[in-house]
Amino acid sequence: MSLSATKHPLVITLLVAGAFFMENLDGTVIATALPQMARSFGRSPVDLNVGLTAYLLTLAVFIPISGWVADRFGTRTVFGWAIAVFTLASALCGLSNGLPEFVGARILQGVAGALMVPVGRLAVLRSTEKSELMRAIAYLTWPGLAAPILGPPVGGFITTYLSWRWIFFLNVPLGILGVFLTAILIPNARPEEKKAFDWIGFILIGAACAGLMHGLEVLGQQGSGVWWTAGLPLTGSLVCGAVAVWHAHRTPHPLLDFRALQVPTFRVTVQGGSLSRMAISTVPFLLPLMFQVGFHLDAFQSGLLVLAVFAGNLGMKPATSGVLRRFGFRTTLIGNGVLAAVSLFACGTLFPNTPRPVILVVLFAGGLFRSMQFTALNTLNFADVPPLLMTGANTLASMLGQMAMGMGVAFGAIALRLAPFLRGNHGGVLTDFHIAFGCAGLAALAATIDCFGLKPDAGAEVSGHAHRPSEGAAATRAAKESGREDTG
């Protein structure tokens, strides 16, 4: 089937967004269920962290193959099977009676999720016109924003009033519906050319991603010798990553195609955008912990406060298109990026005696800026990427985006670990959280520096802010000159 647009782009976008929400919620809702699951398995709650780690590492390793698999077997086939396998793995998680069974099911979920998210987004990108891309990306961004906020209270409710197993069983009817809709709505688009699989690139990239995620996770833990144990995987990750980039520029069909980095808008969203995503992704991790550990609130009270961030996410959605149309991507990313950083700094000024309305206003405003920044970055990602480079750009953006959000949790944990050294003998646990939010705010500020390199009309074809020739044309010419064209 050709790569032409489908007649149902909005319906496909909603279907893919629903699958994203299922995958994102499943990754966050489990945190509150760990104590009850540990009792079921006869283990300590700490032991169950291996289930979370196994899922994240599997995602990091297998996301890079998503572009090749989609081109080889078609977007409908891969997306449908990914939903089916994810649903099966969810049922196996719910039926698990021991930790080894649960970890195995989570690994299977990770493989399916690694294909479901990027291939689903590729289906949307291939079916959506440039003029409708901003609305489509806004729908796809929402699950990633909402799930980390809704996950803890939803998980707490299900665990308290039903059973932790229903966290996974609820995915079964949703998954069956998703497979059915995929079969009738999504075209099985794929290029005619079949490329060989880059095994060397897969091994190098998988080792680099897994080493980075594992090393950062170790850095966020307490214990003697942590710097040495983290240094080994981080060093290995750096070496494997450098060799992977070198290899990608010397093989005709690399697993990760870096040509899209020739597009200035895509390059900015990958560089500064990844740092911004990491900084903003600390919020779902740091806020509930601060409210429970620093403010001494219970999980339910903490979850209710954090819902203010979700309300801000929703509140910004109707205004997103108008803001980008009025100010353009460059001004929005710089101005809103600064406001997002200020909202992180503001979280570091909250105390248990701060009036609840003030806390809610701070969290709501942070949700507004968080939503705007994610949507603007995710839309600009592909605004000027030509169809020639779309598959490679989508795979690279999916991998880096997933890692940036995972690194947000690791960054928050590392900041909490370093905070006692920074404050010396002054303050206490709550001060550690204030320092961690300060570090996140500085990272968000640093992320805006890259945006100053954007042209005033960057992404104009998508935002409607200006009407000048797209930068993607230059990238297409450069790709043709390199002699490495494909039809993806």
CA–CA dist 409, 136 (Å, integer): 27
Residues 128 and 9 sit within 8 Å (Cβ to Cβ): yes
Walk along the chain (488 residues) and give the pLDDT tens digit of each residue: 333 444 567 778 888 888 888 777 776 667 667 667 777 888 766 566 667 767 877 887 888 888 888 888 888 889 899 999 999 999 999 898 888 888 899 889 988 988 888 888 888 877 777 767 777 777 777 776 677 667 767 777 777 778 888 888 888 898 898 899 888 888 877 767 777 788 888 888 888 887 887 777 776 655 445 566 777 888 888 898 889 889 888 888 887 778 888 888 888 888 888 889 889 888 877 887 788 778 888 767 777 788 888 888 878 877 888 888 888 888 999 999 999 999 999 999 999 999 999 999 999 999 999 889 988 888 888 778 887 788 778 888 878 877 787 778 778 878 887 888 777 666 678 888 899 999 999 999 999 998 898 888 887 777 777 644 444 445 444 444 444 444 33
> In Å, how far from its chain's centre is CA 18?
15
Residues 20 and 120 sit within 8 Å (Cβ to Cβ): yes
Q: Is the dihedral of CA 108, 111, 114, 117 positive or negative?
A: negative
CA angle, residues 108, 110, 111, in degrees to nearest 5 = 65
Residue 18 CB-half CA count within 13 A: 17
Which ranges of 128-249 does DSSP label H, i.e. alpha helix?
A: 133-161, 166-169, 171-185, 199-219, 226-248
Position 167, amino acid: I
CA–CA dist 151, 149 (Å, integer): 6
CA–CA dist 282, 276 (Å, integer): 10
User: What three-state secondary structure class fits 222?
Assistant: coil
Residues counted in the chain: 488
Both structure tokens of 13: 């976008």
The pair phi, psi for residue 218, each rounded to 5°, is -65, -40
